[in-house]
Chains A and B, each alone.
Chain A
Amino acid sequence: MGLLTNLRDSISRVTDGLFAADEPKRIGIYGPPNAGKTTLANRIARDWTGDAVGPESHIPHETRRARRKEGVEIERNGRKVTIDIVDTPGVTTKVDYKEFLDHDMEKDDAVRRSREATEGVAEAMHWLREDVDGVIYVLDSTTDPFTQVNTMLIGIIESQDLPALILANKTDLEGSDVQQIANAFPQHETIPLSALEGDNMDEVYTKIAEYFG
């Protein structure tokens, strides 16, 4: 039995190695709504491919379907890392159309948006289960990171043994508190950035190459 197990292990190591070399890792960009996931996805995609991933908006739940940008090649220190970026809808435990009404939206549109957002969260959670090889977890550094959603998602990511990079976004805003995020998830490295302004993207790319390469 021991022999078989060893054999299986070594075979799976070989196949893992093959896949690692051939297939780009699929990296899910997760986080609560309005953390700047799409802004980050667009920033990465524009920096390395020239294309955008999807529209950004200050209205929560702009991204209601996971969007993918495949084959993004990132070069760091002479090394090339190819990843597929999956921009996911913001994960939340409550979706209420009323929050969209403040954004000059008709009720019907708000209700539809709400339903689509809910479907999007279901999809994002499903992807997390089996379709991503690593996670970039984006948090708005001006808001309290100690939320049920963050704790649960980080917990799931850890239980899956997925490599995870925590980004403290929106450092360009007043009230940004990177340390608070670092304190909330001390078991992970926290990288500050402003995806909107492009601040500290160099470090982000270095870490992406290091974590997902």
Chain B
Amino acid sequence: MPHQCTSCGRTFPDGSKEMLSGCPDCGGNKFQFKPAGATDETASAGNDAGSGGDEGGPVAGNEPDRSPSTSDDRPTPDDGAADPNSSEPADATPSEAAAADASGRVDPSSASEASESVDPPSPSDGTEQIADRSDEDTAQASARSEVVSSDELDRASREVDPADTAEPPAEGEPQPGIDALRDELNEQFESIRIVSPGQYELNLMELYDRQEYIISLQEDGRYVIEMPDAWGIEDE
């Protein structure tokens, strides 16, 4: 699952538009992007690693960075997080989360509990991209009910720590990881294509057409988007 909410740990399939207006579960707007290859690797390693004590593997690389954000940023648990099945991945190390989630997706029981409002992952990128916009609007509507904290925004606008930036490909083969990540991003972001760090191609029409907009780009595949018109929705 390439996209993961850094607040509640929820993951999204490649090409999903669900999180374009923030995480439908917790409203978080900070996401981690993991290339499919890395996730698989992490998933298998994570099961063996247990508490994540393994040296070297992707697990150790992810942990120092992710644990602060998963513990600090997690908002009050909502229906998804309150469920023991789904809260476990959020508490666990990222690799475990990825592993648990990867298996949880296919397990009907936990999948249904974890995601009431979740659209089923689309079979392929193509269908997701051309899915009609009314789906997206529902997701936006639910996402808009929560407002990102100023703290979160502040953190998002900060420079990425060098450690952060180096995180995804920290071990193993770094170059294929970051390249794959960029390729994945490029396929999804029709509006901004990251050619390489510091080199961007912009699709102006797409940027103009989108209701939400990107307010922070980060080279490690994270990005921050603004919630569109949160004040247009009745407060709950």
Contact = CB atoms under 8 A, between A and B. Distances in A.
B217 A118 contact: yes
Contact of A122 (B192, B198, B209): B192
B202 A122 contact: yes
A129 B208 contact: yes
A89 B82 CA distance: 44
B233 interface: no
B197 interface: yes
Interface residues of B, number: 22
Contacts, number: 70
A119 B216 contact: yes
Contacts of A94: 199-202
Contact of B198 (A111, A149, A152): A111
A118 B199 CA distance: 9
Interface string B192-207: 1000011111111101
A119 B202 contact: no
B186 interface: no
A33 to B, nearest CB: 12
B32 interface: no
Chief secondary structure at chain A's binding surface: helix
B208 A128 contact: yes
A119 B213 CA distance: 9
Contacts of B208: 125-126, 128-129, 156
Interface residues of A, number: 27
Given A115-B217, A125-B213, A93 B207 contact: no
A151 to B, nearest CB: 10
Contacts of B192: 118, 122
B164 to A, nearest CB: 15
B213 A93 contact: no
Nearest to B191: A122
Residue from B198, B203, B216 having most chain A Cβ neighbours under 10 A:
B198
B199 A122 contact: no
Interface in A134-192: 149, 152-153, 156
B131 interface: no
Contact of B207 (A96, A114, A125): A125
Interface in B199-235: 199-205, 207-210, 213-217, 219
A114 B198 contact: yes
A119 B202 CA distance: 10
A111 B207 contact: no
Interface string B144-159: 0000000000000001
Contacts of A114: 198-200
17 contacts: A92-B202, A93-B201, A94-B201, A97-B199, A107-B198, A110-B198, A114-B199, A115-B200, A119-B214, A119-B216, A121-B202, A121-B204, A122-B192, A125-B207, A126-B210, A128-B208, A152-B205
Interface of B: 159, 191-192, 197-205, 207-210, 213-217, 219
Interface of A: 91-98, 107, 110-112, 114-115, 118-119, 121-123, 125-126, 128-129, 149, 152-153, 156
